[in-house]
Amino acid sequence: MSACEELREYVREIAEIHSAVALGAWDQRTHMPERGAEARAKVLGRLERMAFERVVSDRMGELLAAAERDGVCSEVDQALIRVWKREHTRNRAVPPALYQKFVETTSRAETVWEKAKAASDFALFRPHLAEVVDLVREMAKLIGYRESPYDALLDEYEPGMTVAALRPLLGSLRERLVAFLKELSRGKPPRELPAGTYPLDAQKRFCRETLTWIGYDFQAGRLDDSAHPFTIGIGLGDVRVTNRYQDDDPFPGLFGALHEGGHALYGQGNDPELAWTGLAGGASFGIHESQSRFWENQIGRSLPFWRYAHPHLVRHFPGLARAKPEDVWRHVNRVEPSLIRVEADEVTYNLHICLRFELEVDLVEGRLEVDELPARWNRAMADYLGVTPPDDARGVLQDVHWSGGMFGYFPSYTLGNLYAAQIADAAERAIPGLWAKVEAGEFAPIRGWLWEEVHRHGRVFLPEDLVRRVTGSGLGAEPFLHYIRRKYGEVYGLSGP
Amino acid sequence: MSACEELREYVREIAEIHSAVALGAWDQRTHMPERGAEARAKVLGRLERMAFERVVSDRMGELLAAAERDGVCSEVDQALIRVWKREHTRNRAVPPALYQKFVETTSRAETVWEKAKAASDFALFRPHLAEVVDLVREMAKLIGYRESPYDALLDEYEPGMTVAALRPLLGSLRERLVAFLKELSRGKPPRELPAGTYPLDAQKRFCRETLTWIGYDFQAGRLDDSAHPFTIGIGLGDVRVTNRYQDDDPFPGLFGALHEGGHALYGQGNDPELAWTGLAGGASFGIHESQSRFWENQIGRSLPFWRYAHPHLVRHFPGLARAKPEDVWRHVNRVEPSLIRVEADEVTYNLHICLRFELEVDLVEGRLEVDELPARWNRAMADYLGVTPPDDARGVLQDVHWSGGMFGYFPSYTLGNLYAAQIADAAERAIPGLWAKVEAGEFAPIRGWLWEEVHRHGRVFLPEDLVRRVTGSGLGAEPFLHYIRRKYGEVYGLSGP
């Protein structure tokens, strides 16, 4: 057996344990009876620990060293070594006692955060957040970085990404979006569709249909309800999505399904050869998000899509019969600066992220105290979006991420939006008559192209390399800004882009 | 830490892995998309192997020896040692290569059995069954026994049970049931209720209600659909049931729910202290079956039950409004000798089991060749039940058990029926006005008594000891025979018992 083959054998067990963890997590959020929660937490903790022990083991170190010495590996084997070396190194860098403290502190902080958010009481959350920030900074130091401790955190979600690269990118994006928002405010806002009641059963049927259009394979997955929509890869041939619905509005459910469907196509499209190697999944959180945003926004919020989807929408919801395809398209492309990230539209969404990124970097680099967060938050909201949170629940306390210590995660959302626009441009160039196909409901060529260019590769390429392979250029904000100006200029009747 | 505490710590990991296996198995049969099957098999295989390695490890042997040396254990700790020593010894007795061969041979045999049953072609199955029997005999020899190799197999399902104890018990049961069947044939068969259509949704609602009556806790479990009904304990606070339904008959679904509900009450009633020790579950397969049969037959097929359940039945199925409680009771207590075990009534069911037991013992003890099975089967069917299978599909090929190497399992079904009657007698003695309570829908006292006497103890007592504690006497067929004669004598209008 070659060193790479031995490594593959070894990591297969870890991947199989991860599959059991994924099933437990899926069940926890969809089917588990409430009194089973404590036992489930114990079982998942045990399985995760068993996987962790294998990741950080001396044996793993030896196998990685041997595989590197061999040096005659395929592209996939090189990725195998890269991915597991990163896991091994990052996880060994943090001593078990410190990691244990991190798990306990964040678990407590999350519980307190829930209460603090409910009471809109930042002071309650403040000491816990301060503890989390201290631990995150300590862990960043141990993991190591060249320029900014935040780089050590970013790397977990977007391998290779740095503050040095992100700061100018997001800074310029922010300025231009703020300027564009001002332009839009002089335009003519689209008319909203009349309110109505949309039975959940009909919504679910419509979502299932929509997932089938874009190529989601129900023989290799399923759609369930959950409090927060998510996609989870349980194993080869089993990538599940969940969704939620509002009975007064069919669109959050529909776009939720398209979003999760985009994630799921990625997972279902992984080359089966990558199963059990740790290379199944996505190149990064940002690239994964690009796939969800591609289907949700680039396709799902396009006029050709609604020309196709309109009769189906009306079939499920006859109350919408009088709305034309263009009306629906305008309705789902309204822009309104608002307080809550998860409810934000395409134009303002990234401003919520820019704000969080700036605060996170300052916290982690030690230029900002936790005490100062609410004031900084509210000032930035006013500057970027022109709205001021009336309380911390609708401001600095709105997201769960910080309580869980997930610093470095937020940028993935904006990276996803930027990548999605770049990928959509590349798809337009590669697929003749792309929009005519969308209008005809022919999604297979698009799905096929994404499969060939993105999905099948899983985690084989670093995000930077993948984007360059697919689009011919590196990460940039121009395609996204161009897309936004063009579409929303039209929706809001602005004069030429 | 005492030796017993160390042993508990060690087996906790095994129990937690088993919980992950149980969840995977539940999902496999209820929700898993079909293309995920292969991956799931691999993951479950891996987890089972990880648990197995811990069970047979030298470390386990040392911990058991140390705990035994200590000798100052509680009743529960004594059971802990007993149960794990049995697992350790049985599993170490069979060399991994032989066990591997057993897994492969039975897996192949099961596939061939499916085809052979579909084609009613015993010759196709014969060589595979012969291989399985040889392997089972070899394993029995390695596991060890005093009198019969079949005892080594029985012990897996009913610890302590032997051929020497079973043979006279089942022999006499068989003779008396055959005689009673003759008596019944001179009685007046009850009228069947008219045919109808019973919407599955209404059936499911009725089953959920019925499960709630008997005390099944939906906050610690759930009811799903599956091809074959089953109950599975996933962990503390999570014991799930599944069921299936026929749209032309509401009773198979209802009795299926009561049967699985009986199993599930046992699991939900285990003392929480037994969680993660390997002592949760039931004292044996036979005792577990007694709990399902108790609710399905002793309670669910009683006249007081139908006096209570009747208006609810009619509410869900208005088409049955003209049937009186007594009519329903008679309808669900019809007796008809038939070819298929799983469709058999209470009186004839055990004859199917007696037949299988006799054949199994003769095969395992080497007095019967696989070639002779169909002839022996058909002759016994004619002798015991007065029916002759027109083909092997409805005869010797009907059950999956032998292809899977599960020799020694069948007796559990009859033991369950016998224990259930003994336990029902004890319940009648212990709970004043038991049948009036059933008629009033007051099931809580019965459930509470079962909890106190049976459920909470899990696997702490050997089945023989448990039955003696609960009923004051050992296993016997009299209470069952008395119950059968009394009820069916009444249903069939025979003169006095």
Which residues, given as ranges, of chain A have pLDDT below 70?
496-497
Q: How far apart are CA B357 and CA B150, in angstroms?
A: 10
Residue from B10, B29, B42, B49 whose CB has the most chain A CBs within 10 Å, to mutate: B42
Residue A144 gets the label, from left (phi > 0), alpha (psi -120 to 50) or beta, of left
Q: Does B20 touch chain A (CB under 8 A)?
A: yes
Q: Are A231 and A216 in contact (CB under 8 A)?
A: no
Q: Are B477 and B418 in contact (CB under 8 A)?
A: yes
Show Cβ contacts of residue B138 under 8 Å, excluding neighbours closer than 6 positions: B98
Q: What is the pLDDT of residue A485?
A: 97
- pTM of the complete model beyond 0.80: yes
Q: Which of A142, A65, A51 is nearest to A101 (CA)?
A: A142
Q: Which of B136, B134, B177, B123 is nearest to B396 (CA)?
A: B123
Contact call for A36 and B275, based on CB within 8 A:
no
> Tens of pLDDT along B81-139?
999 999 999 999 999 899 989 999 999 999 999 999 999 999 999 999 999 999 999 99
Q: Which CATH number fits domain B148-497: 1.10.1370.30, 3.40.50.720, 1.10.10.60, 1.10.10.10?
A: 1.10.1370.30
Q: What is the pLDDT of residue B1?
A: 86
Q: Which of B323, B296, B105, B287 is nearest to B195 (CA)?
A: B323
Of all residues in chain B, the one with the smallest CA distance to A23 is: B24
Q: How far apart are CA A22 and CA B20, in angstroms?
A: 11
Q: Does B25 touch chain A (CB under 8 A)?
A: no
Spell B259-272 as b/e; 16+ CB within 10 A means b. Answer: bbbbbbbbbbbbbe
> Tens of pLDDT along B212-234?
999 999 999 999 999 999 999 99
> Tens of pLDDT along A262-295?
999 999 999 999 999 999 999 999 999 999 999 9
Strands across the sheet containing B238-243: B223-225, B238-243, B231-235
Told to judge if B34 belongs to the known catalytic residues of this protein, a careful annotator would answer no
Q: What is the pLDDT of residue A1?
A: 85
Show Cβ contacts of residue B481 under 8 Å, excluding neighbours closer than 6 positions: B173, B176, B177, B180
Identify the band that residue B261 occupies on the pLDDT scale cut at 50, 70 and 90: very high
> Tens of pLDDT along B11-53?
999 999 999 999 999 999 999 999 999 999 999 999 999 999 9
Q: What is the pLDDT of residue A73?
A: 79
Q: What is the pLDDT of residue A119?
A: 97
Of all residues in chain A, the one with the smallest CA distance to B275 is: A39
Q: Does A337 touch chain B (CB under 8 A)?
A: no
For the domain spanning A149-497, the CATH number is: 1.10.1370.30
Question: HSE of B311 in the Cβ direction (CA atoms, 13 Å)?
Answer: 4
Q: Which of B151, B153, B107 is nearest to B131 (CA)?
A: B107
Contact call for B39 and A220, based on CB within 8 A:
no
Contact call for A24 and B27, based on CB within 8 A:
no
Q: What is the pLDDT of residue B203?
A: 98
Q: Are A190 and A334 in contact (CB under 8 A)?
A: yes
Q: Are A314 and A327 in contact (CB under 8 A)?
A: no
Q: Does B211 touch chain A (CB under 8 A)?
A: no
- Annotate chain B with three-state secondary structure: CCHHHHHHHHHHHHHHHHHHHHHHHHHHHHCCCHHHHHHHHHHHHHHHHHHHHHHHCHHHHHHHHHHHHHCCCCHHHHHHHHHHHHHHHHHHHCCHHHHHHHHHHHHHHHHHHHHHHHHCCHHHHHHHHHHHHHHHHHHHHHHCCCCCHHHHHHHHHCCCCCHHHHHHHHHHHHHHHHHHHHHHHCCCCCCCCCCCCCCHHHHHHHHHHHHHHCCCCHHHCCEEECCCCCEEEEECCEEEEEECCECCEHHHHHHHHHHHHHHHHHHHHCCHHHCCCCCCCCCCHHHHHHHHHHHHHHHCCCHHHHHHHHHHHHHHCHHHCCCCHHHHHHHCCCCCCCCCHHHCCHHHHHHHHHHHHHHHHHHHCCCCCHHHHHHHHHHHHHHHHCCCCCCCCCCCCCCCCCCCCCCCCCHHHHHHHHHHHHHHHHHHHHCCCHHHHHHCCCCHHHHHHHHHHCHHHCCCCCHHHHHHHHHCCCCCCHHHHHHHHHHHHHHCCCCCC
Residue A9 tokens read as 């054998």
The long-range contacts involving B133-138, CB below 8 angstroms and separated by at least 24 positions, are B133/B363, B133/B364, B133/B370, B133/B407, B135/B98, B135/B101, B135/B102, B135/B105, B135/B405, B136/B364, B136/B405, B136/B407, B137/B364, B137/B366, B138/B98
Q: How far apart are CA A277 and CA A63, in angstroms?
A: 14
Q: Does A14 touch chain B (CB under 8 A)?
A: no
- H-helix or E-strand containing A122? helix A122-143
Q: What is the pLDDT of residue B495?
A: 73
Sequence letter at residue A35: R
Q: In DSSP terms, which residues pair with A94 in a beta bridge?
A: none
Spell B206-242 as b/e; 16+ CB within 10 A means b. Answer: bbeebbebbbbbeebbbbeeeeebbbbbbbbbbbbbb
Which residue of A19, A33, A39 is in closest CB contact with B222?
Answer: A33
Q: How large is the average pLDDT for residues B379-392?
A: 97
Q: In DSSP terms, which residues pair with A111 in a beta bridge?
A: none
Of all residues in chain A, the one with the smallest CA distance to B31 is: A222
Q: Which of B87, B131, B158, B260 is catalytic?
A: B260
A387 — phi, psi (to 5°)? -125, 150
Show Cβ contacts of residue B396 under 8 Å, excluding neighbours closer than 6 positions: B122, B373, B374, B377, B378, B389
Q: What is the pLDDT of residue B10?
A: 98
Q: How far apart are CA B135 and CA B295, in angstroms?
A: 37
> Where are chain B's structural domains?
1-93, 148-497
Average confidence score pLDDT of chain B: 96
Contact call for A27 and B27, based on CB within 8 A:
yes
3-state class (DSSP) for residue A247: coil
Q: What is the pLDDT of residue B496?
A: 59
Q: Which of A87, A158, A260, A289 is catalytic?
A: A260
